[in-house]
Amino acid sequence: MTRNILVIDDDPDLRETLVLLLADHAVTVTAVGSGREGLSVLAEGSPPDLILLDLMMPEMNGWQFLEHVRADAALASIPVVIMTAHPAVDPLPAPVKETLRKPFAGATLLATIARHASPG
Amino acid sequence: MPSGEQDERLGEQVLEHVAEIAAGRCSITDATIAAEPDASSQEILAGLLMLHEDLEYGRLRQVTLLQDLRDAVRARDEFLSVASHELRTPLTTLGLQIDGLPRALQQQMGPLPENVSRRLGLIGRQVERLSALVTSLVDVSRISSGKLQLSKERADLVEIVRAVAERFGDDARRSGSALVFEGQGPIWGEYDVSRVDQVATNLLSNAIRYGLGKPIAIGVAPDGDRSRFWVADRGIGIPPEHQTRIFQQFERVAPATSYAGLGLGLWISRQLVEAMEGTISVRSEVNAGSVFTVDLPRGA
């Protein structure tokens, strides 16, 4: 079963890379460049199985995006994995399940997705 | 006033002024100098006033220099932090592309020719190396700014160290060193798995780098309510006079012209081990090899 993932990262090359890499592993990726765009994607379509979220972004960063998600009951149950150059944040704020510390390997990414995204 | 008494009074006055000057104060003014009855006393007090002014100038200069030095260190740490974070994003993309490339190529062309997969493997290893270097820069800036955070969990130390040994199997083979794992588990405790992995990784990559292709042993053992792991090589070794220095920042004993590295690995390792309330030590002999031992509490 195909998993659907929302990627929010301001680096266009990383977005394209994730789309290509995950397509090889039966993961459908919608990729946007800011928290604001992420929120409009979530408002339009059906909820993804997982959100991969960058933290440092212009025009609504990851933390601000998480505040909006937490405040919306329909979105607060979607698991989120943070992708960041900073070491893990402790404790992780809900609904963040895990931190992927950049740079991370493809195998690590796939294992993390398998752990947290139940295909629906 | 008889001159003996006058000398004695001047002597006391000078001592008082010297004590004042030493404490950073001075009550000598042009008026107090002018009030002195004879020229030689005036000269002595004027000399003391000059001494005070020189010392004050030196003190101010010292304060300014110290501030400049602190600013420079802070600027260095900020630069390290920004630069290392900036480097991580392109490295992530590069690494993921390389990870995905064999699969994408195989889908197009079937099984990859030997020379292509060898090249891909080589590129992948170099990206891993770059990533490790950048990670150590990030760690330096976090440790220097006191922002290091541990996240401990219940884990088996034998498994953590064994995983590192397995990961280095290929590297050891390429360098010609036989890698032996010594240890029977489990040794359960509260460990920061990624930080313990990082220290073991650093020690093992050093052993391979300086091991002259001779056998390397990596082991784990319980020790009462503590636990220990070690990495032993039979390589170039470390002269006794350098065995403390190697744990300091940017210090390297092996010539930078012959051996790669930033001189950060052992400093980071020591900082991490100490943050985990452990100790790291070395026994070594030139041309016979080195044994690095990390002792950790099992925690709870």
pLDDT tens digits, one per residue of A59-81: 888 999 999 999 998 899 999 99
**What type of residue sits at position A103?**
P
User: Which residues of chain B are within 8 Å of residue A14 when distances are taken between CB atoms?
Assistant: 89, 92-93, 96
Instruction: Write down the pLDDT at residue B111.
Output: 92
What is the pLDDT at residue A89?
65
Q: A86-90, B7-11, B88-92, B150-154: lowest mean pLDDT where?
A: A86-90
Which residues of A fall within a CB distance of 8 Å from B127? 103
A-chain CB neighbours of B96 within 8 Å are 14, 17-18, 21, 104-106, 109
The answer to whether the CB of A78 falls within 8 A of the CB of A93 is: no
Q: Which residue in B206, B200, B222, B196 sits closest to B276, CA to CA?
A: B196
Mean pLDDT of B36-44: 88
CA B238 vs. chain centroid, Å, equals: 18
Are A107 and B92 a contacting pair at CB < 8 A? no
Of A21, A56, A85, the CB nearest to B100: A21
Complex-level ipTM = 0.77
- The label of the residue with tokens 């319980």 reads B222
B221 secondary structure, DSSP code = E
Closest alpha carbon within chain A to B138: A86
CA neighbours closer than 13 Å in the CB half-sphere of residue B127: 23
Predicted confidence (pLDDT) per residue in B211-229, tens digit: 999 999 999 999 888 999 9
* B-chain residue closest to A100, CA distance: B92
Please say if the pLDDT value at position B300 is more than 60: no
One-character DSSP codes across A11-71: -HHHHHHHHHHHHTTTEEEEEESSHHHHHHHHHHSPPPSEEEEESS-SSS-HHHHHHHHHH
Q: Tell me the pLDDT tens digit for each residue of B107-129.
A: 888 999 988 888 888 888 888 88
Interchain pair B149, A87: CB under 8 A: yes
- The mean per-residue pLDDT over the stretch A15-30 comes to 91
Residues from chain A contacting residue B99 (CB–CB below 8 Å):
21, 105-107
Task: Name which of B5-14, B61-70, B179-188, B281-290 the model is least confident about.
Answer: B5-14
Q: What is the mean pLDDT of residues B244-255?
A: 78
CB atoms B95 and A103 under 8 Å: yes
Q: Which residue does chain B place closest to A18, by CA atoms?
A: B96
